[in-house]
Structure 1
């Protein structure tokens, strides 16, 4: 029931078999980056359940279980909490706070928290207070257009970002600013160890990323894009 999830993309229905192929390639890429994977069984109650990033924020000290901002996604976090409790101390955002992990951008030891249609000020405040307990800093920024903060910006490491123009207030002059709206989807990249996973089909962004010296792995994300998903959405990294 993947195609029954929430989307604003107007790109048509995703092909289920093609989505499975792309997800398999994604998992293979993560393994190729040196990761061990925990792959969860599908839960038919949650069509958006593959986008596990939204359910938790993980640091080396704790896992903060979120409270998804879309009503149809509330409950996804319960299974994730049980799994993460085997590896991390559990903290949690509570209602009336809402928070999607896609609105949280980590830059070294600072966390930018986006206020969006899915993440409210109370959720951002709770997360900030939890992170502060563990020695991190946090700040709040408005997402404006777009689903999540990380729909339009990624931290690549080494002080570099890739972002749409609207988030240049975060990235400044460090890295890549995407001025061509046709390439805006390429702002959602995923750094894993010495590799950078990027979405396939965005030649200008790819060229600029290579010029910065990153080892790239290019993946076709067409079916997940149809459901407002990207590279960061499909995994939770233990860091």
Structure 2
């Protein structure tokens, strides 16, 4: 069964880290409603949703994806590029150890989960403003002995690799080519989001379903032509905080190795 770790929305979300977007007022109550709808979508698609509360004092804590990278046989607790977020990992690790053995990334390496794309044994790591080459090296050290292939990807003009591209399945990538170097993905099927919907390349896979941003109608139509189970969720308040769909969960199979 799939497990989806989530974290409640912090009342301090308006104080979140921002890099490429201008600060806007985040409607906290609406964000809570959108988060609840997101969790219901995960459950509807067959995931067991675990809601954490340990990091409510951290403005970005609902973006739990960045705290850890979970593979079939290992959880890697990250060392985030944003200084203000580094203490979030301890609270999440307490939950993850219930499902996986844990390794940790240490400075000077930095890496955030939003920069990690997985397709089977292929791991793509975005080199971004939050993840450095040391982070890529750490992932290679931890994962290549376990049979994974780790490939670095250049990210440009956006926060994370998953802001620019995500997998619809292990062979099909949804991408904004203006924000990422697609050369490492040249052997895959690539769907380009329209220029009018630059944020729409972030979609989340849950079992056999794909969920896209409800505000990206052209991308919804595009994805629906290649996938027969497509959901839509409004994450407009989280977009103001430079977040997207995948940011709000860590999804993995419940096959604990401990």
Q: How does 1:1-239 map to 2 (within 5 A)?
A: 1-7=12-18, 8-10=20-22, 12-41=24-53, 43-166=55-178, 167=180, 168-172=182-186, 174-180=189-195, 182-239=196-253
RCO greater where, 1 or 2, for CA within 8 Å and sep 6 or more? Answer: 2
- Which stretch shows the higher mean deviation, 143-152 or 35-44? 35-44
Q: State how many pairs are aligned.
A: 238
Instruction: Deviation per CA, 1:78-111: give whole Å up to 9, x if none.
Output: 1111111111000111111110000111122111
TM-score w.r.t. structure 2 length?
0.88
TM-score w.r.t. structure 1 length?
0.95
How far off its partner does 1:214 sit?
A: 3.1
Greater helix share, structure number = 1
- Which stretch shows the higher mean deviation, 125-134 or 2-11? 2-11
How far off its partner does 1:202 sit?
A: 1.4
Cα distance in structure 1, aligned partners of 2:184 and 2:162: 12
Instruction: Deviation per CA, 1:151-181: give whole Å up to 9, x if none.
Output: 010011051110011433244361311241x
Gaps of 5+ in 1: none
Maintained 8 Å contact 1:111/1:136: yes
How far off its partner does 1:45 sit?
A: 2.9
Cα distance in structure 2, aligned partners of 1:107 and 1:218: 22
Cα distance in structure 2, aligned partners of 1:124 and 1:196: 27
Gaps of 5+ in 2: 1-11, 254-258
